[in-house]
Each structure stands twice: as C-alpha cells, then as structure tokens.
Amino acid sequence: MEQIKPNVERAIIIGAGPCGLSAALELQAIGIEPLLIEKNAVVHSIYQYPTYMQFFSTSELLEIGGIPFTTPNDKPTRREALQYYRDVALRRKLRIHAYESAASISRLENGSFRVETVDRFGSAAAYEARFVVVATGYFDHPNLLGIPGEELSKVTHFFQEAHPYTGMKVAIIGGNNSAVDAAMELLRVGADITVVYRGDDYSPSIKPWVKPLFASMVAKGKIRMLFSSRVIRIDESTVTVQPSDPTRPSYRLDNDFVLALTGFQPERTLLTDAGAHVDAESTIPEFNPETMETNIPGLFIAGVIAAGREANEIFIESGRHHGTLIARRIQQIV
C-alpha cells in the first residue's frame, strides 16, 4: 500500500488540553506555530468533569501563556475554565485539528518524526515534524476494577451530572475528591448513596472545604460510607461488598447504578512506538525533568503523562509549566 505523503510541520503537539495549549503558546513565543492534534474537542478533559464542579485551584494557578483568567469566584468553575481555555485558543489562533486521533509516532532516519492520524470518519493523514510533544492526558483509560459485572451498562467510570440518578440506589467506588463530589451532588437529587472505599478513614486529599460537609452527611446517615471495603461483584440489581477484615463475610446491597471513580492512567503506546522508554512498573516515561525531553531527541512529554500511574501528582498548576521547559530546549536546538 502506498504511504500517505506527509504534511510538513516544525512542531506537533498531540493533545489540546490545558498543558498542550500551554506548550503551544510557549512555542508561539519563540516563533514556532505548532499544529495541535486533538481527538476530541479542545480541553476535552475539563469537559469530562462534573457539570457543576469547582476547581481546587485559584484561577491564577490555571492561567497559561500569561493570559489572565478572571472570575468573581474564589475558585473557578468548570464552565468558566472551558470558556477561558477555548477563548485562549481562539484569540491566539492556535492551529488545532479537533476530532483527529494520533494513531502512531515513528522516528525517521533524518531525526524527524512521522505522525499518522485518523479522523472520526476513518480518513487517514500523516505529518512530519522535527519536534513532537505528547500531551495526551489520561481520561480515556480508567483504572478498571477487574471484577465480574464491570462491563454492565449500569457501570460508569465518569460522573457528569446527578439528574439521571434521581431516586436511584447508587454505589460509588472510591474515596477521593471525585467520589466525594459525586456523592454530594447525588444527595441533592434524592439518590440512595453508598460509598465503598478501601481506606480505613477519609482520604487526606479531599478538598478541605468539602470534607466537613461530607463527613456531616455520613454522620447523619444521609450517605452510607463503607470504609475498609471493596466491591467484588456487580450484578443487575445488586453489588457484592467484601470487608477488608477477613473474619467478616461479604454481603450484597441492592443497587441500580455503579460509579467506579477509581482514577485514570495515560496512554503510553504513542511514546513506546516512537522508541521512548517507559518504566513497566510505574509507567513513567524516561525524560529529563529540566527539558521534558524523552530519551528520544526531539520527542517531549507535557502534563499528566509524566506522572505514570500516580496521575494525581501532576495537575494543571504544575503541568502548565512544562511548555516553558520544552520551548527553552527547542530554542537551544534550533
């Protein structure tokens, strides 16, 4: 089969989330207009957040490219963040190929890279660039439970709005912010809520202004909190819970829906296809933290993909600075 002739670019960024956008702005600042390839819409990761979510960070810590993020709230909302990032992309005229997925990255003999893509209708394209930044985020790969029934339609790894669960028996698996936020939203629509968490106490990562409210709802019996427990089976009308204490038997709870809010992990295939080293255990790519360059010259990472399995170790606040390091390194090369 004849190979597709590539479009030639100076730099390609895969992923148009906040960290990918930040890297694009930093490259603009040194005279490079990168092409961003995004398989969904711009900042799709934020679009996936619960509709009424409020950020832990202040708006100042979410800013990119030195562009002010103004809000009348102490903490910005999901809706405000969507508007801020899309406005930045539009005003800076970033070149974004939305709804186009990067299928592979391969290194060429001349040191450049070939990036092959496919759009949502199956049409293929190819690009060649001296520099590639992988900023793909992690929302497409949830940490699966690996238990019977996880494939049922009643199970989801995302929570967006509470309305569909009005009056339903909902089991939430997990104990961090996403689980707590979901439980508080579900409470407002009259759901019967059970939170199943492996930990023996509340997670220290819970937002400090939310934790007292959540603990109060648990104490009042409005939310059932099962510490030191895990769900071991999901059926059409029940879930089976196993306490950590081996002397206690498993038991069933009536159930309509399961929110398995157990976190996500980034995709590594694009990096490994290009020859980048990725630690098998931690899934952290090999890279220079001062430049974000992998072991393959000219191939960079930005954002949460640098954190391996511990995706919560890198947020927008820290990942937005990766673009500065990348641009500085590219400027040294060119």
* pLDDT confidence of residue 48: 87
* pLDDT confidence of residue 312: 53
pLDDT tens for the 334 residues of the chain, in order? 457 889 999 999 999 999 999 999 999 999 999 999 999 999 998 998 888 888 888 899 999 999 999 999 888 999 999 999 999 999 999 999 999 999 999 999 999 999 999 999 999 999 999 999 999 977 667 888 999 999 999 999 989 999 999 999 999 999 998 999 999 999 999 999 999 999 999 999 888 888 999 999 999 999 999 999 999 999 999 999 999 998 999 999 999 999 999 887 777 889 998 999 998 888 889 999 999 999 999 999 999 888 766 555 456 788 889 999 999 999 999 8
HSE, CB side, 13 Å, CA atoms: give it for residue 73. Answer: 14
User: How do strand 35-38 and strand 113-119 relate by DSSP bridges?
Assistant: unpaired
Nearest residue to 311 (alpha-carbon basis) of 276, 271, 267: 267
Contact 90, 82 (CB under 8 A): no
What are phi and psi for residue 285, nearest 5 degrees? -65, 150
- DSSP assignments along 182-222, one per residue: HHHHHHTTT-EEEEE-SSSS--TTS-TTTHHHHHHHHHTTS
Reading across the β-sheet that carries 155-156, which strands appear in turn?
Answer: 155-156, 257-260, 169-173, 192-196, 224-226
Question: Which CATH number does 7-141+264-333 carry?
Answer: 3.50.50.60
Nearest residue to 329 (alpha-carbon basis) of 281, 291, 298: 291
Helix (H) or strand (E) holding 328: helix 322-333
What are the domain boundaries of the chain? 7-141+264-333, 155-260
**Would you say the CATH fold of 155-260 matches that of 7-141+264-333?**
yes
Give the domain 155-260 fold.
FAD/NAD(P)-binding domain (3.50.50)
